[in-house]
Amino acid sequence: MTTALQPQVVLSVLLIVCWNRVFAAPTQSELLDKADVVIVGASIHSMDDGNSIHEAIASRGEKILAVGSRVEIERLIGPKTRVIQADGKVVVPGFNDAHVHFLSGGLQLSSVQLRDAKTKEEFVSRLRDYASSLPKGQWITGGDWDHENWPSGELPDREWIDSVTRDNPVMISRLDGHMALANSLALQLGGVTKETTDPDGGLIVRHSQTGEPTGILKDAAMSLVSRRIPGISFEARLRAVKAATDYAASLGVTSVQDMSGASDVSVFRELHQRGELKTRIYAFAPLPAWKKSADAGLKAAQGDDWIREGGLKGFADGSLGSTTALFFEPYLDSPETSGLPGDEMFPDGVMLQRVQGADRAGLQVVVHAIGDKANDQMLIIFDQVSRINGAKDRRFRIEHAQHLRMEDISRFAEIGVIASMQPMHCADDGRWALKRIGPERAKGTYAFRSLLDAGAVLAFGSDWNVATLDPIQGIAAAVTRRTLDGKNPDGWVPEQKITVEEAVRAYTAGSARAEFAETSKGSLRPGMLADMVILSQDIFKGPPEEITRTRVVTTIVGGKVVYEASKSL
């Protein structure tokens, strides 16, 4: 016989159950359903195919758990969840810089700063002050000087600096990395004299009357001296990369594609093991050494979510600022030259052989090309290799793609070549480029709009330390096309402007595709890596001219807060 429970007993049981549900500690299974980090009250630009916008986002571990409305996401908040109140601020995917030189950037943070020297006198005085702080015999490198900042626009000369750097060999680069100034001591150590011949792909600038080297070395000629510079110790490289990754976090850069990073992979791994690496890195090796990568069994973008290898970087020419970018027509201000093919283009046919071999081995090939002729040559080579080796997902890239003939723009999409570009170069070069190439060639200069309209994939980066690592400045440059001298308030070649959304997409989803990573980063969707950035103002709604005032408030990498505006973690 079953005895019915009294109503009072039933009510007591129900009250106990409700009390436990509300006040008791959550079960292990309930905790597993909760998020580690939640951002609420935000305007989250997902950069997915429809660029959907959400109010809140949650992550668990290194991955995004959910995106949606505030009500939906708040259900994922548990007792251990870190909740970030965004107060209406914009959240975007972590910026992915498609072209950096990470170690060089970290080293430059503590080297002599010459980028903004406005006169010859300031240039010399900064070198003198820096040299006075160094022990005798220590090399002075870096610098990132820009002679276009000076009223005369003349190239520096070793005679300017010999007297203030007697005890220290000097090899300081122009900011584009395609020209350097060596003092007399450095030239002596490199064995560079009046009788030294120019190497293939390089130029020793000489005094017109005496034939003596001025100290300026262009492209391949720089190696005559740079090979004498002592190597950097492992500990010094660790310090430089640590400085670089901290700096990147402060700017919202959560991934970089390091064009000279293959020799530093051990440094990246050591920092990662220490828990000090805040930046995901895809490290590229030199294209001429492709067989070494192939023999090691590397494939394109091979590795984990933090450190990957399998990319190869080559050179087809030099730079516009050094008059070594290769054009079909001569420079207007240096009519004796149309630029120089890079030394990797010699002997004739070797670039095709290397690209073909590397591609067949499953490696990713990206090649620096700035002048219109260099771009044309690489498009031809990439097309030839695609036909010879057969169809596959290879993702060839042209790094910079700065100056294009209008008829060549459609070829990027037709061949499937990604345009990996750096919009800050547009803001910089636009101050003086017309005197070199004129208005007609400028129509295809930094052709962001035309490339997108033709269906090409844009991947944005900085070329740091050539230009600032700050992606906000790059986005502003792509949207406004204002030059750094303020003389083009409506934009230089304004018909090539793009929208804020398109620029952010190139810095996130576009860069992710450029490194075979679009399934793990570049957009804010469930299952993607929880790499995201909170910005100080809404760059999508405000005046484009105000974008440069935007700052990073919070940077999150793999679900971990690695930078906050008031403190770096």
Question: Residue 536 belongs to a domain with what CATH number?
Answer: 2.30.40.10
Q: What is the CATH number of the domain that holds 144?
A: 3.10.310.70
* Residues 65, 171 within the same domain: no
Task: Choose the final residue of a domain: 199, 226, 253.
Answer: 226
- Per-residue pLDDT band at 567 (split at 50, 70, 90): low
Place of tokens 């909760």: 34
Provide the CA 51 distance to its chain's centre, in angstroms. 23
* Residues 148, 82 within the same domain: no
Give domain status of residue 347, yes or no.
Answer: no
Nearest to 557 by CA among 221, 32, 63: 63
What pLDDT, on the 0 to 100 scale, is given for residue 354?
A: 98
> Residue 10 belongs to what domain range?
1-94+525-569
pLDDT one-digit tens code per residue, 214-239: 999 999 999 999 999 998 899 989 99
What pLDDT, on the 0 to 100 scale, is given for residue 14?
A: 54
Give domain status of residue 34, yes or no.
Answer: yes
pLDDT one-digit tens code per residue, 8-65: 655 554 555 454 544 444 544 455 689 999 999 999 999 998 889 999 999 999 999 9
What pLDDT, on the 0 to 100 scale, is given for residue 19?
A: 46
* Residues 139, 63 within the same domain: no
CA distances in angstroms from 259 to 30, 283, 285, 455, 514, listed in the order given: 45, 6, 7, 25, 13
Give domain status of residue 177, yes or no.
Answer: yes
Task: Choose the final residue of a domain: 194, 226, 258.
Answer: 226
* E strand spans, 134-201: 140-145, 170-174, 179-182
Give domain status of residue 195, yes or no.
Answer: yes
CB 348 within 8 A of CB 358: no
* Residues 167, 220 within the same domain: yes
* Residues 28, 79 within the same domain: yes
* Residues 120, 178 within the same domain: yes
**Angle ∠(104,139,341) on CA atoms, nearest 5:** 55
Task: Render the burial of 103-139: b for 16+ CB within 10 Å, e for the rest.
Answer: bbbbbbeebbebbebeebeebbebbeebbeeeeeeeb
* Residues 144, 168 within the same domain: yes
Give domain status of residue 134, yes or no.
Answer: yes
CA distances in angstroms from 153 to 120, 157, 409, listed in the order given: 10, 12, 32
Q: Is the pLDDT of residue 208 over 60?
A: yes
3-state helix, strand, coil in the chain (%, to 5): 35, 20, 40
What pLDDT, on the 0 to 100 scale, is given for residue 11?
A: 57
What pLDDT, on the 0 to 100 scale, is given for residue 431?
A: 94
What pLDDT, on the 0 to 100 scale, is given for residue 29?
A: 46
CA distance 71 to 63: 20
pLDDT one-digit tens code per residue, 90-128: 999 999 999 999 999 999 888 888 988 999 999 999 999
Give domain status of residue 336, yes or no.
Answer: no
Q: Is the pLDDT of residue 568 over 60?
A: no
CB 569 within 8 A of CB 250: no
Task: Choose the final residue of a domain: 201, 226, 251.
Answer: 226
Place of tokens 């793999």: 558
* Residues 68, 166 within the same domain: no
Is residue 249 classed exposed, middle or buried when 0-12, 13-18 and 19+ CB atoms within 10 A define those classes?
buried
Residues contacting residue 519 through CB under 8 Å, at least 6 positions apart: none
CA distance 340 to 200: 9
* Residues 154, 210 within the same domain: yes
What pLDDT, on the 0 to 100 scale, is given for residue 23?
A: 46
* Residues 120, 220 within the same domain: yes
Q: Is the pLDDT of residue 543 over 80?
A: yes
CA distance 381 to 361: 17
Residue 96, beta-bridge partner list: 255
Give domain status of residue 372, yes or no.
Answer: no
Give domain status of residue 390, yes or no.
Answer: no
pLDDT one-digit tens code per residue, 355-408: 999 999 999 999 999 999 999 999 999 999 999 999 999 999 999 999 999 999
What pLDDT, on the 0 to 100 scale, is given for residue 7?
A: 56
Number of domains in the chain: 2
Nearest to 281 by CA among 463, 97, 490: 97
**HSE (side-chain half, CA atoms, 13 Å) at 88:** 3
